[in-house]
Amino acid sequence: MNKGKIYALLLVIMAIWGGTLVSIKVLVTQYHPFTLTATRIFIASICLFLILFLLKKVRFPQREEWKWIVLASVLGVILHHLLLSTGLQYT
C-alpha cells in the first residue's frame, strides 16, 4: 500500500472518529449516558467477537488474566465512555 492510500485511510478513520463525538453529543440529548454507554460497549463487543471468531483468535482467558481484563474493562472502557457521554451531556 502506498503512502497516499495510507494517509487517505487515516484521514477517513479520523473523520469517523471525530464524527462519533458529535453523534454522542446529539444522542445524549435523547438518551441517558448510562444507556448510551451500555449500548455502545455491547455493539462494540459483538463486532469484536465476530472479527476474532472469523480470524480464529477466540480463546478463553486464563485464570491470571481475568483480573487485568476486569480492571481494563472498568477503567479503560466503561469509565471512559461513561465520563465522555456525561461530559458531553453537560457541555
pTM passes above 0.85: no
Burial bucket for residue 41 (CB in 10 Å: 0-12, 13-18, 19+): middle
The phi-psi region of residue 56 (left if phi > 0; otherwise alpha if psi is between -120 and 50; otherwise beta) is left
Instruction: Identify which of 75, 81, 90 has the alpha carbon closest to the alpha carbon of residue 20.
Output: 81
State pLDDT tens for residues 43-83: 999 999 999 999 999 999 999 999 999 999 999 899 999 99
Grouping H, G, I as helix, E, B as strand and the rest as coil, residue 20 is helix
As a whole number, mean pLDDT of residues 13-21 equals 92
Query: What count of other Cβ atoms lies within 10 Å of the Cβ of residue 73?
Result: 13
